[in-house]
Structure 1
Amino acid sequence: MAVANFRLKAALLTGSAMLGLAMAQPAAAQKVTIAIGGSVTSLDPHFYNASPNHSAAAHFFERLTEFDSNAKMQPALAESWKAIAPDVWEFKLRPGVKWHDGRDFTAEDVAFTIKRAPDVPNSPGGFGAFVRGVKSVEIVDPLTIRFHTPGPYPLLPVDFASLFVVSRHAGENAATEDYNSGKAVIGTGPYRFSSYTPGNRVQMTRNDSYWAGKPDWAEVDFRIISNPGARTAAIMSGDVDIIDTVPSSDIPKLRQNPKVEVTSIQGLRLIYLAPDRSRDENPVFVTDNDGKPLARNPFNDLRVRRALSMAISREGLAERVMEDTAKPAGQWLPPGTYSYNPDIKPLVQDIDGAKKLLAEAGFPQGFKLTLHTPNDRYPNDAKTAQAVAQMWTRAGVQTTVEALPWSTYSVRSNRQEFGVRLMGWGSLTGEASYALVNIMGTYSQETRFGANNSGRYSNAELDALTLKATGTLDDEEREKLLQQAVKVAMDDVAIIPLHQLVNTWAVRKGLQHSPRMDERTRAIDLKPAKG
């Protein structure tokens, strides 16, 4: 049977190749200190699909498949995989892999992970979408496992690159609290759990028995420094070895600092706005110009969504707010990626056109709203929201901004407590279905769609296209369907795209850092200075 995934052809044939994780033996025990801006909300790797959580968990846990720094598929805990029937994938697991407590990694652990991942209690945005293609699991032997799908499903290995595997013996009766305490943090990864202080740091020690080779660093201090200025001060003072989400305004002085190097790569993360579509009446944080509640939700009117999108100067955001560390976006993938639609361009600001659409929608005098944003999650997130608010106000929608810490914001957003929210989404698979399923798919626990669809957008036509595309084996035909789905989503203003980030880090001089398109910040991507 022909292999049917644009990223997997080489991997299917040479899947026994080692991951690009093999690490040089250190000359002496060393410690590395990492500082990230986003808050790690849990060490339960199935609790919340958010980049800071992924970055921390990747030190302890691993996936069956993995993306390298350029979003190319690699084998990880699975040595190889192939479709042995139109609706059956067979994965061969890597032999000799041990859990941190010395037990063998087997297919039983993978089967347990598939069962656990979509059903973690109180998850604010979980992992159900990554197992939606699994109808049943068949364990052939301890190192061979088969996944039966409802029909042809070429993206299963891609989905698994977002799903950490946990041990059955440690996780079977474990709650999220057991992972946060460290009790259940028994992984196969390069580092072992030492301690976790929510909102502050995660500390870890080297796993000397790691299957891919002894890690470089004896200790890792993984710190959370949410204030951008404080992160910059920490790297300049030498208090930390690397920081992520470098403030754009600080990049020039960091480049001039002889003790610091700046690394960057075009990212896969879109910064976008998501209007609330979860209610038809009495929308939250939206009123008329006198502050009185609106009877109907204006965001359910396509003309209003188009007007809000049309009122935004994306060039202005990218150039002035982001200081050229972002690119204006009209869709959620950057040019050159698989399923990017070249016919969809970023909208050009048109204030008069926006006012006209608002009048046609029954709001000739506009209305009032509050735009909610995190203030410590994405580069210039609150500044971006303030700039958008000014643009919307010019178009007649009087907008105020409420900025919140990510730890609070993320929970409230996923409870549909906001009228319009600023969000980010990294399409780490490098193709369109990742966002179509997770942030634009109609929310459903049954279908596993919409796990991160905080605005509760719903479009039956788009869902049908997504299902058709993800069930299409032919790469070219699947890309055409995905491009069609991108057009449907953007024509309907499923989300309001703003810009795509360029991922930037500041690193202590002499250390070797491999920047990643998926913006993960990990100790294994940082090599000690030579000599």
Structure 2
Amino acid sequence: MSKFRKEFGRVNPSLSQAINEVSLSRRSIIKLLSAGAVMSTGLVAFPAISADAETPVKGGRLRAAVANASATDTLDPAKGNNSGDYTRQFMFYSGLTELDNKLAARPALAESIESSDGISWQIKLRPGVTFHDGKALTAQDVVFSLSRHKDPAVASTAINQAKQFSSITAVSPTEVKLVLTQPNFDIPAVLATSPFLILQDGTKNFSKAVGTGPYQCKSFTPGVSTVGVKNPHYWKPGLPHLDEVELMGVTDQAARVNALMSGDLHIVATLTANDVKRLRQSGQFGVLESKSGMYTNLIVRTDMKPGSSEDFVLGMKYLQPREIMVKTVMQGFGEVANDTPVPPWHPLFNKEIPQRPMDVEKARFHFKKAGMAGASAEIITTQNIEGSVEGGQLIQQLGRSAGVNFQVRRVPYDGYWSTHWTKDPLGYGSINPRPTLDLLFSQFYLSDAPNNESGWKNPQFDQLVVAARGERDQAKRKQMYGDMQALIYDHCGTIIPTFISSLDGYSSRVKGLEAWPSGMMMGYRFHEFAWLA
């Protein structure tokens, strides 16, 4: 193990000392919070970087790195499940719509998408669009791309969204009619997400990618590298600026930052607060902070012990050191959360739900009711899920005062998502932003959601999700989503202590970057807009 890896794997000594001194007294809690305030001094949040006003330079080769890399890396939009997959797929494919930097859905391959009732949608395709092999985009390509998600054999991550597609038909070579099983006025935003990127009709081979996106696939080696070369016939005039982009997967945090600082990489995703400090001190690098709905969550499986006891779940919720995490681990680059996946800035955020405090006495009470007093429990963490190791260690220390002996086991990141995520009784997840609450709830909270992380099932919640899709009255819609948040807050086993700002580092040579709330690295689409000075 390298020196850098050891260094970045440790808990900050000041944080560790503060944790070890904690007791049940108010004075000790204040001391813990004060430690965070001292540590964050001099590293405050800074405004988002706006797009450069200079005239873009054409050409050049840019090398970027994301934190995800494994043998399961994919060019199939239906199977993408992390930021590396999303970024790679947006290089080669385009969607019917796309999200702008305000999370609004805009026309893309669809010149227009309209509905009067939220059920029947008319989609008119943009003329003159061609795939990388020269074939013209037609309605049949769209029918194929949307329909495949309904097939269980495809194992699409968007199968739940696709269940609402009652019929998809080609009205003409340039027009598609999409009919839903029930109204959903979020459809334009749904179709902007990476699973619904448009493929060529009949595509089965995903060793390469033939799409309509800004780059053509030159090479793809899962777990290692993806190289794209500029699509000279891209449907957006003047884009992209770069001749070639190489996207690498570098799971080692220190290695990513060191490669950026040495000049081997131009832009890297998923910085820590300590990385920000290093880069800013050098004066040769920029840091892109994007506030979004991204979060690391502690998953308590409610369909197995000890999480099958609601009292144990509630005890874990009272054991969350939320403010401490934001002030120490994130050093200000985050926001306190309240165990629902809706950030405070969101227009549908339920302000009526009381903020749950850290209360060790209440945690002890509920652990005792759950029969866990004096018992042991293991929390699974991995280094590349931001805040999971430190979060687990904080809970371990606080748990001693709450009467439960928590053991923290750190496992390798390689294989974490297939071996541990949603399978361990207590473990961590990492959720990227979603453009709508319907997408977020449908993928992670519905009883039959493919990624129902805690195994939570609530019929009332399920009914509200479906009803809210078809509600056009914004006040009624907000009430429905507020009720859903309350159900998650009270009953669900996914515990969300904080929201995390997306932090990307880049060389001063890289221009054209700006913060987008839809995800890291400009909503996974930096390669379309970036250029090299």
TM-score of the aligned structures, taking structure 2 as reference length: 0.83
467 and 27 in structure 1: CA distance in 2 versus 1, 3 angstrom threshold: closer
Alignment match, 2:431: 425
Alignment match, 1:73: 105
Separation of aligned partners in 1, 2:54 and 2:319: 52
Where 1:268 maps in the other structure, the secondary structure is coil
- Quick check: 1:302 aligned with 2:310? yes
Alignment match, 2:286: 261
Cα contact 2:311–2:367 (8 A) shared by 1: yes
- Quick check: 1:36 aligned with 2:66? yes
Alignment match, 1:355: 364
Q: Which amino acid is the alignment partner of residue 335 of structure 1?
A: P
Cα contact 2:292–2:499 (8 A) shared by 1: yes
**How far apart are residue 313 of structure 1 and its match?**
0.9
**How far apart are residue 32 of structure 1 and its match?**
0.5
Alignment match, 2:32: none
96 and 148 in structure 1: CA distance in 2 versus 1, 3 angstrom threshold: same
Q: Deviations over 1:311-347 (max 9, x none)?
A: 1111111111222222110021222213111122442
Alignment match, 2:131: 99
- Quick check: 1:409 aligned with 2:409? no
After TM superposition, the structure 1 = structure 2 runs for residues 282-293 of structure 1, keeping only pairs within 5 Å, are: 283=304
Separation of aligned partners in 2, 1:42 and 1:234: 24
After TM superposition, the structure 1 = structure 2 runs for residues 457-496 of structure 1, keeping only pairs within 5 Å, are: 457-496=456-495
Separation of aligned partners in 1, 2:228 and 2:412: 25
Separation of aligned partners in 2, 1:481 and 1:272: 23
After TM superposition, the structure 1 = structure 2 runs for residues 237-386 of structure 1, keeping only pairs within 5 Å, are: 237-278=262-303, 283=304, 297-330=305-338, 331-365=340-374, 367-376=375-384, 378-386=385-393
- Quick check: 1:64 aligned with 2:64? no
Number of matched pairs: 473
Where 2:377 maps in the other structure, the secondary structure is strand
Q: Which amino acid is the alignment partner of residue 65 of structure 1?
A: T
**How far apart are residue 465 of structure 1 and its match?**
1.4
Separation of aligned partners in 1, 2:55 and 2:109: 22
Where 2:348 maps in the other structure, the secondary structure is coil
**How far apart are residue 85 of structure 1 and its match?**
3.8
Separation of aligned partners in 2, 1:473 and 1:141: 30
55 and 120 in structure 1: CA distance in 2 versus 1, 3 angstrom threshold: farther
- Quick check: 1:441 aligned with 2:446? yes
345 and 432 in structure 1: CA distance in 2 versus 1, 3 angstrom threshold: farther
Where 1:71 maps in the other structure, the secondary structure is coil
Query: Bigger CA drift: 62-71 or 234-243?
Result: 62-71
- Quick check: 1:152 aligned with 2:183? yes
**Percent of aligned positions that are identical:** 23
Cα contact 1:47–1:120 (8 A) shared by 2: no
Cα contact 2:57–2:532 (8 A) shared by 1: no
Unaligned runs of 5+ in 2: 1-50
- Quick check: 1:522 aligned with 2:529? no
Separation of aligned partners in 2, 1:205 and 1:260: 25
356 and 381 in structure 1: CA distance in 2 versus 1, 3 angstrom threshold: closer
Alignment match, 1:4: none
**How far apart are residue 471 of structure 1 and its match?**
2.2
Where 2:341 maps in the other structure, the secondary structure is coil
**How far apart are residue 523 of structure 1 and its match?**
3.9
Cα contact 1:62–1:189 (8 A) shared by 2: yes
Alignment match, 1:82: 114
493 and 394 in structure 1: CA distance in 2 versus 1, 3 angstrom threshold: farther
- Quick check: 1:131 aligned with 2:162? yes
Where 1:388 maps in the other structure, the secondary structure is helix
Where 2:103 maps in the other structure, the secondary structure is coil
Cα contact 1:138–1:145 (8 A) shared by 2: yes
**How far apart are residue 390 of structure 1 and its match?**
2.9
Separation of aligned partners in 2, 1:466 and 1:479: 12
Separation of aligned partners in 2, 1:134 and 1:382: 41
Query: Bigger CA drift: 63-72 or 384-393?
Result: 384-393
Cα contact 2:146–2:196 (8 A) shared by 1: no
Where 1:62 maps in the other structure, the secondary structure is coil
Separation of aligned partners in 2, 1:320 and 1:345: 24
Higher helix share: 2
**How far apart are residue 120 of structure 1 and its match?**
6.3
Separation of aligned partners in 2, 1:25 and 1:105: 31
TM-score of the aligned structures, taking structure 1 as reference length: 0.84
Q: Which amino acid is the alignment partner of residue 366 of structure 2?
A: L
Where 1:252 maps in the other structure, the secondary structure is helix
245 and 339 in structure 1: CA distance in 2 versus 1, 3 angstrom threshold: same
Where 1:59 maps in the other structure, the secondary structure is helix
398 and 499 in structure 1: CA distance in 2 versus 1, 3 angstrom threshold: same
Q: Which amino acid is the alignment partner of residue 360 of structure 2?
A: I
Separation of aligned partners in 1, 2:325 and 2:220: 36
Separation of aligned partners in 2, 1:135 and 1:81: 17
Q: Deviations over 1:53-77 (max 9, x none)?
A: 1111100111111112332222111
Unaligned runs of 5+ in 1: 1-20, 284-296, 444-449
Alignment match, 1:3: none
200 and 458 in structure 1: CA distance in 2 versus 1, 3 angstrom threshold: same
144 and 392 in structure 1: CA distance in 2 versus 1, 3 angstrom threshold: farther
Cα contact 2:240–2:529 (8 A) shared by 1: no
Instruction: Indicate the RMSD between aligned Cα atoms, in angstroms.
Output: 2.3
Alignment match, 1:203: 227
**How far apart are residue 255 of structure 1 and its match?**
1.1
Where 2:415 maps in the other structure, the secondary structure is helix
Cα contact 1:242–1:506 (8 A) shared by 2: yes
**How far apart are residue 129 of structure 1 and its match?**
2.6
Alignment match, 1:231: 256
187 and 393 in structure 1: CA distance in 2 versus 1, 3 angstrom threshold: farther
**How far apart are residue 121 of structure 1 and its match?**
4.6
Cα contact 1:120–1:126 (8 A) shared by 2: no
Separation of aligned partners in 2, 1:168 and 1:509: 38
Cα contact 1:312–1:388 (8 A) shared by 2: yes
Q: Deviations over 1:121-173 (max 9, x none)?
A: 585x71113323211112211111111112222122221111333434451xx
Separation of aligned partners in 1, 2:437 and 2:272: 28
Separation of aligned partners in 2, 1:118 and 1:193: 27
510 and 373 in structure 1: CA distance in 2 versus 1, 3 angstrom threshold: same
**How far apart are residue 393 of structure 1 and its match?**
4.1
388 and 30 in structure 1: CA distance in 2 versus 1, 3 angstrom threshold: same
After TM superposition, the structure 1 = structure 2 runs for residues 390-401 of structure 1, keeping only pairs within 5 Å, are: 390-401=397-408
